[in-house]
Amino acid sequence: MISGYLDGLGMVLQLSTLLAIAGGTLLGIVMGALPGLTSAMAIALLLPVTFGMPPVAGIGMLLGALCGAGASGSIPAVLLNIPGTPSSVATTFDGFPMAQKGEAGRALGLAIVASFFGGVASMVILSLLAPPIAEFALRFGPAEYFSLSIFGLVIIASVAGKSLLKGLIAGMIGFLISTVGTDPITGVGRFTFNELSLLTGVNLLPALIGLFAVSQVLKDTFEYDPNERLKESGHRIDIARPRFLETLKHWKAVVMGIISGSIVGPIPGAGGSIASLVAYDQTRRFSKTPEKFGTGHAPGIVSVESANNSLLGGALIPTLALGIPGEAATAVLLGGLMIQGITPGPMLFADQSGTVYGIFLAYLLANVFMLLIMCLGIKLFIRVLMVPRKQLLAAILVFCFIGVYGVDGDVFNLYLMLGFGVLGYFLNRYNFGTAPVILGLILGPIAESNLRRGLQSFEGDWTPFFTRPISVAFLIVAIGLLALTLWQNYRSNQQSTPAGDDSV
Amino acid sequence: MTQRDIGKPLFNVVLIIVSASVFVAASAFPNVNIPGDLSAAFFPQLLSALIFIFAIPCLIKDFQEWRTGDVTASSSSISLARAAGQWLFVILLLIAYVYAFERLGYMISTALFIFFCVVGLAVLSGTWGTLSIAGKSKALAGALVFAVVLAVAIFYVFTDLFKIPLPT
């Protein structure tokens, strides 16, 4: 482990890597501060620029974007009562009332430091838990990998959309798209339409950018209303400086946030909003002054923000150790890892431990940069909220185009990106979700190749897939989760049956 | 009551048609016999069949929801026709951008795309009509400057900083 950290340190402590992490964090902060733009979109936009970088620098940049977006969602939450990201919803409960009292700077100062503490703690938890999980996963053979892929697809489909059936359909659409190209075993061309660019399958980059960036821009275009411009906050933010001592004074709230984020983080699909709401609820429950929550109470902000950033470290555990991401942002990050030539999973820890520990350290540094950049540039990021929407949409689209084209100069990939953008727009509009599509694209080939390799080695016998203990355990948990989701949907349908409830 | 959106059931119809087509197309894949292995068509056919089967209850539910939905309810402050116009305009502009990208080169096609995107959204969203002649001239000049500056800035960021070549 120590040699791994030393190797990783050597990779991280290079000027280009440090600049990449800082740049990613800066972009993540800007994107997180803009309501409606997601951290998944920030990562998707950054993917093309990480191509020429060494793996740790590239992934560090993407982690910086995730970290920055997680923290800066608090800016519009505090100043405008609009959460920049879903996980900042609970920040509005006490952040905005504190700003209304004329203490917006204090609220932001607390949020920044709590995010930093949460991020650092989650890095420690990640580095402690991910390696043993990966070591355990070294026992996996084709049967286990097949079951794990199915498990990953089922869990994200169960929780990503508003409807179980629609989530499953989205996952299968991704899986189906992953079959495009030359069949790896028989060499048969599948749905290639004599297009050279499709012979090796659908390129992941246009899919990621289309599904997470172009689809979001199309949604914003559909909803674009020039009369709905954000009004500039009149709150004082001149005292927006990090508040270490005050945050530490509320250490119980910080710890509650870290525990909530770290527990919820690895649970696929649970997401930041659940972690922060759990943290807020638990902190209030154990508080001696629960009546102060919701009135601009510091522990309310501290617990929520520490939960938001500690969630990410937790979510990275299954992503790195098993190759199974829990939600959209880590799904895009997984795609980024694969584009970088890194295949997440147990072999990554066995073969490239230096890279893994480098990623851990890059995540730690991303938190440090987040703290510095947020403290130094807070007033600037508030101005970001006022950027005219149509100029922003045009700029994002150009970035998407150049990013996809610049990688291999193939115009076909631009059409592909556009196609995925339109598909993603409709999938989101009609509650299917786009995260399961990416998971299907990534896990589909793993599931197919392992099932077929397994069947060949078992001479066509399917029973080992259902008798090997780890394999059957994954399948049972996946079926159990499906049953649980169906039961929950049935119960919520029984309690209230409003039209438009999509839970099937 | 929710907004009536015929697109919701229609999207399921599209899924059903596409999945059926995929199933049929996959059945034409050549069958290479490898002992113990599945055919190349196995997964495409399995997945398209499952999508077909799962989309049917979604279609029924979404269609019922559409029938009982509120015609007057709207989730947006802008009219559907205007929203759809803005959406379609950007899609068409993107297709034109891809087409022009290698023919006109990065700089001209990108500057044109940004300019038309900004001005087009202003026109379609209705803000253009509220401007005076001087205001329109100012907005056009602003959009032009923004388009050129952004195109040049992105060009240098990608070619110099990230070493990604772009067609000129």
Structure confidence by residue, pLDDT tens digits, A280-336: 888 888 888 888 888 889 999 999 999 988 888 888 888 888 888 766 788 888 888
**A218 contact B CB<8A:** yes
User: How many angstroms separate the CA atoms of A305 and A477, rounded?
Assistant: 31
Residues 6+ apart with CB under 8 A from B118: A390, A391, A394, B143, B146, B147
pLDDT at A497 over 60: no
Q: Do B101 and A414 touch (CB under 8 A)?
A: yes
Using DSSP's 3-state secondary structure scheme, residue A182 falls into strand
Give the model's pLDDT for residue A269: 56
Per-residue pLDDT at A268: 62
From CA B55, how far away is CA B16, in angstroms rounded?
A: 6
Angle between the A328-339 and A298-322 helix axes, to the nearest 10 degrees? Answer: 40
Residues 157-186, chain A: which have Cβ within 8 Å of B? 163, 165-166, 168-169, 172-173, 175-176, 179, 183, 185-186
Q: How far apart are CA A121 and CA B140, in angstroms?
A: 51
Mean pLDDT of the A266-270 span: 64
| pLDDT at residue A499, rounded to an integer | 47
Measured in degrees and rounded to the nearest 5, phi and psi for residue A269 equal 80, -10
Q: Between B29, B90, B166, which is nearest A402 by CB?
A: B166
Q: A146: which 2 tokens?
A: 């097949």
Answer yes or no: is pLDDT of B129 > 70: yes
Rounded to whole angstroms, the Cα distance separating B9 from A126 reads 43
DSSP H/E element including A471: helix A469-495
Whether the per-residue pLDDT at B127 is higher than 70: the answer is yes
Residue B77's pLDDT band, with cuts at 50, 70 and 90, is low
DSSP code per residue over A371-420: HHHHHHHHHHHHHHTTS-HHHHHHHHHHHHHHHHHHHH--HHHHHHHHHH
Write out pLDDT tens, residues A174-188. Answer: 999 999 999 988 888
Please give the average per-residue pLDDT across B14-29, as a whole number. 95
> What is the tens place of the pLDDT at every residue in A332-365?
888 888 877 888 888 888 888 888 899 999 999 9
User: How many CB atoms are closer than 10 A to CB A282?
Assistant: 17
The candidate with the shortest Cα–Cα distance to A49, out of B160, B168, B144, is B160
Task: Judge contact between A237 and A102, C-beta under 8 A.
Answer: no
- Reported in sequence order, the residue ranges of B46-110 that DSSP labels E, i.e. its strands, are none
Grouping H, G, I as helix, E, B as strand and the rest as coil, residue A480 is helix
Mean pLDDT of B32-61: 91
Q: Contact, A406 vs B166, CB < 8 A?
A: yes
Residue A230's pLDDT is what? Answer: 53
d(CA B104, CA A504): 49
- Say if residues A39 and A329 touch (Cβ distance below 8 Å): yes
Structural domain spans, chain A: 2-491
Distances (CA, A) of B41 to A185, A346, A453, B22, B46: 12, 30, 16, 10, 8
Distance CA A67, CA A122 (A): 11
Across residues B10-26, what is the average pLDDT?
Answer: 96
Question: Which residue shows structure tokens 């100043």?
Answer: A79
Chain A / chain B CB contacts < 8 angstroms: 188
pLDDT at B49: 97
pLDDT-derived band at A503, boundaries 50, 70, 90: low
Backbone angles phi and psi of A181, in degrees to 5: 115, -170
Candidate ranges A80-89, A110-119, A325-334; pick with highest mean pLDDT: A110-119
Which residue in A49, A190, A191 is closest to B162 by CB distance? A49
Q: What is the pLDDT of residues A367-380, one digit of tens each?
A: 999 999 988 877 77
Q: Indicate the helix (H) or strand (E) that contains A181.
A: strand A181-182
**Residue A76 near residue A231, CB atoms below 8 Å:** no
Query: Which tens digit of pLDDT belongs to each residue from A13-54?
Result: 899 999 999 999 998 888 888 776 777 888 888 888 887 788
Segment B54-67 mean pLDDT? 92
A490: pLDDT strictly greater than 60: yes
> Is A418 in contact with B94 (Cβ distance < 8 A)?
yes
**Could you tell me if A478 lies within 8 Å of chain B, comparing CB atoms?**
no
Among residues A314, A266, A313, A268, which one has the least CA distance to residue A151?
A268
- Residues 6+ away with beta carbon under 8 Å from B92: none
Asked if residue B37 has pLDDT above 70, the reply is yes
Residue that is written with structure tokens 């000049």 in the block: B141
Angle between helices A435-457 and A142-160 (to 10 degrees): 160
Distance CA A357, CA A348 (A): 11
DSSP A286: T
Q: Is A226 on the interface with B (CB under 8 A)?
A: yes
3-state SS, B141-153, equals: HHHHHHHHHHHHH
Tell if the CB–CB gap between B30 and A188 is shorter than 8 Å: yes
pLDDT higher than 60, residue B1: no
Residue-level pLDDT at A271: 58
Q: Under an 8 A CB cutoff, do B164 and A394 touch?
A: no
**First-to-final CA distance of chain B:** 53
Kindly report, residue by residue over A386-441, the tens digit of the pLDDT: 778 788 889 989 988 888 887 778 899 999 999 999 999 999 999 898 888 988 88
Distance, CA of A203 to CA of A441 (rounded, Å): 10
- The structure tokens 């359909």 sit at A169
Residue A232 binned pLDDT confidence (cut-offs 50, 70, 90) = low
- Please report the pLDDT score of residue A336 as a whole number: 83
**Partner residues linked to B70 by β-bridges:** B3
Distance CA A115, CA A184 (A): 45
Q: Return the domain boundaries, chain B.
A: 7-68, 80-161
Average pLDDT, chain A: 84
pLDDT tens digits, residue range A152-177? 888 777 766 668 889 899 999 999 99
- CA triple A467-A469-A475, angle to 5 deg: 80
Bridge-based pairing of strands A181-182 and A189-190 is antiparallel
